[in-house]
Amino acid sequence: MLFSTIKKALFFFTFFLFACNLPGGEKAFASPDPTEQFKPFLEKVVGNLADPALKKLSKKEQAAHMIKVVKERFDFTEMSKRVLNPKWRELSAQEQNEFQDLFTQLLQFVYVGKIEDYSGQKVQFTQQRMRGPRAEVQTELVDANRSIAISYLLKLENGQWMAYDVVVEGMSLVRNYREEFIKIITNDGYSQLVKQIQSKVNELEKQYTEK
């Protein structure tokens, strides 16, 4: 059923937002270094999460604010393309833009509730892997009870490393959405997928506007 994935998205994006303070680690020979580029961005994200002024905003305003920050280093075009493959190639440029906008709206609402849960969790850098214009930054989220393996998949674009997926203990956010979306497209068609996503976005927007 569509949006059983939402709980997983909350889980994945929480860790994307919480990742911070990555130490140096081994240098890759290629330049720029993925971890070095990501560190100031992640520190900015965490600084926003810890800002008391953010919690005074409405849920809708919080979502809009945080998605604007996340867009600085998260490639939603690449993410949208991957969650729809192979259907993405069949869409017109206008349809691709419309889907990207809608999917981004969905993501900004599904994790906004986690803003209140931020409590200074720490992330330890383990290693990074690079292969041409692709990279994987591997980390562990550490709290008092457990450590969770979290990887960020990156693509080099004009000298900037941009994230397009978050993998938590082997579970990919993109893969989970793709499996669910393709199932709906196969059974009911692409237009029905768009309707269901739009309906969920409307529901979440109303929910957070009322709070």
What residue ranges in the chain does DSSP mark as E strands?
A: 122-131, 134-142, 147-157, 160-168, 171-172
Q: Which two tokens stand for residue 104?
A: 């981004």
CATH architecture of the domain with range 5-210: Roll (3.10)
Domain boundaries, the chain: 5-210
Looking at the predicted structure, is the pLDDT value of residue 34 above 60? Answer: yes
Per-residue pLDDT band for 20 (boundaries 50, 70, 90) equals very low
User: What is the Cβ-side half-sphere exposure of residue 15, based on CA atoms within 13 angstroms?
Assistant: 27
- Position 142 scores a pLDDT of 76
Per-residue pLDDT reduced to its tens digit, 153-205: 999 999 999 999 989 888 999 999 999 999 999 999 999 999 999 999 998 88
Tracing tokens 């993109």 back to the chain, one arrives at: 174
Tell me: the pLDDT tens digits for 40-61? 787 787 778 778 888 788 877 8
CA distances from 47 to 19, 35, 62, 129, 208 (A): 11, 18, 14, 27, 23
